[in-house]
Chains A and B, each alone.
Chain A
Amino acid sequence: MKKLLLSAAAVICLVSCNNENASANTVQSMKTPQMENFDKAFKSLGDPQNRPTEEEKKRNTSELSDRRKALLVPASKELILSTGVTENELMRKTGGDMSQIIVWATQIYMKKSDEIRKNIKSEK
C-alpha cells in the first residue's frame, strides 16, 4: 500500500513538473507586446555595442552604467504605462530616475508573468 502511495506521489510530481514546462512555453506566447519589448531591451544589453566599454569596466562597481540603464528605460516606461499609470504619475513617482523606473518595471514584469502562469493553470 505504502509503495503504491509513493509511486502515485511520484507520478503526480512528474505530471506537475511536466505541466510546469508546458506552461513556461505558453507564458512566452501570452506575453503582452510591452513585456516582449522589455525582454528585448534586456537582451540588447548583450549586443556588442552595448557591452561595457573599457572605461566602464574600470569603474570598479557592479552598478549598471547610466549608458546601459538608458537602454532599458524606454521599454520599462512602456510597461509601466501599460498598467494604466499616466506619464505624469510616472514622472511624479520616479522623478525620472532611471534606476527606479527599471526596478518598478521589473516588479510589474514579474507580477504579469505570475498572472499569466496562474491563468494557464486555472484553464487546465
Chain B
Amino acid sequence: MKKLLSLLGILSVSLMYAQGGPLIIMNQSVNYDYRGNIFANNFAGAGCNPVVASNNPTMLRVPAGTTVQYDNFRDQYIPGSQSSVATWSVLLATGGTPSLRPWNHPSLVPGGVISNNTKWSMSKFQMFHAGTLDPETYFYGNIGDAANPCVNNVDYINALPMGDASWFTITTGGTVYTYLLIN
C-alpha cells in the first residue's frame, strides 16, 4: 500500500511537471504596449481539448518595457491588474460551449485536471502605441508553439522596423518556461 501511495505521489509530481509551467511575456518594446489573448490547450488526444483562453479581460495588457509571468491559471491573478486574468474560458469538448471559470476555480488550480492536461500554446495579439488605444497597424498576429500538433502557429512575427515577436520554451529541472518575447 505504501509503495502504491509513493508511486502515486511520484506519478502526480511528474504529471504536474508535464503541465505547462510558467508563461513569461517579455515586452521589451519601448514604443508599444502588448494587448493579447492567451491560450493553453492539450497537445494530444482527439480535438486537443481542453482549450483554455483568457476571458476577463480577453486581451491582457503588458505595457511597453514590462515583463509579466503567469505561473499557472491561478497564481497570476492580481486584483485590478490589466495584465492578469480574472476569468478563463474553458472548452472541454469540440463543439461544446465554453464555460467561464474564475481564476480560483478548483479545476484550474495547479495539479488540477485542466492544469495537468494543458500547455501554453498561443497568443492572439495587437500592439498599441504605448499608453494609448491606437493600434500599430502592422504589428499584430497569432503567435505560438510551432510544434503544437493541434493549431498551426508561427513562432516568429516580423513587423520590423516596428518590432518583432518570438515564441519559444526554455526547459530546466523538468519545468517548461514558455517565453513570448516582443522586441
Residues of A whose CB lies within 8 Å of any CB of B are 18, 20-21, 24-25, 27-28, 39, 42-43, 45-46, 51-52, 60-64, 68-69, 97, 99-100, 102-103, 106, 109-110, 113
On whether the beta carbons of B170 and A46 are closer than 8 Å, the reply is no
A28 contacts across to B, CB distance below 8 A: 30, 65
Chain B residue nearest to A65 in the complex (CB): B168
Query: B36 interface residue, CB < 8 Å from A?
Result: no
Task: Give bound CA distance, A87 to B101, whole Å.
Answer: 46
Nearest A residue (CB) for B167: A62
3 nearest CB pairs, A to B: A21-B131, A99-B172, A100-B172
Once the chains bind, are B147 and A43 in contact (CB under 8 Å)? Answer: no
As a 0/1 sequence over residues 16 to 58 of chain B, the CB contacts with chain A under 8 angstroms (1 = contact) are 0000000010101010000000000000000000000000000
Q: Which residues from A are CB-within-8-Å of B130?
A: 21, 24-25
User: Is there an interface contact between A99 and B171, defined as CB atoms closer than 8 Å?
Assistant: yes
Question: Contacts A45-B183, A64-B169, A103-B170 given; 5 further ones with Cβ under 8 A?
Answer: A20-B63, A24-B131, A27-B66, A45-B166, A46-B183
- 1/0 contact trace for B64-85 toward A, CB 8 Å? 1111010000000000000000
Q: CB-CB < 8 A to B65: which residues of A?
A: 24-25, 27-28
B109 at the interface (CB under 8 A from A): no
Give the nearest-CB partner of A43 in chain B.
B183
Q: Which residues does B use to contact A, with CB under 8 Å?
A: 24, 26, 28, 30, 63-67, 69, 130-131, 145-148, 155-156, 160, 164, 166-173, 177-179, 181, 183
A63 contacts B170, CB within 8 Å? yes
When A24-B64, A39-B28, A103-B177 are in contact, do A97 and B183 touch as well, CB less than 8 Å?
A: no
Task: Tell me the minimal C-beta distance from A123 to chain B in angstroms.
Answer: 18
- Report how far A50 CA is from B57 CA in the complex, Å: 35
Of chain B, the residue at the smallest CB distance from A51 is B156
Q: Which residue of A lies closest to B145 (CB)?
A: A62
Q: Do B164 and A62 have beta carbons less than 8 Å apart? A: no
Residues from chain B with Cβ under 8 Å of A25 in the complex: 64-65, 130
Q: Indicate which residue in B131, B146, B168 contacts A64 across the interface (CB closer than 8 Å).
A: B168
Q: Are A63 and B172 in contact (CB under 8 A)?
A: no
Contact B67 A69, beta carbon cutoff 8 Å: no
Out of B63, B160, B168, name the residue touching A63 (CB < 8 Å).
B168
Determine whether the beta carbon of A45 is less than 8 Å from that of B170.
Answer: no
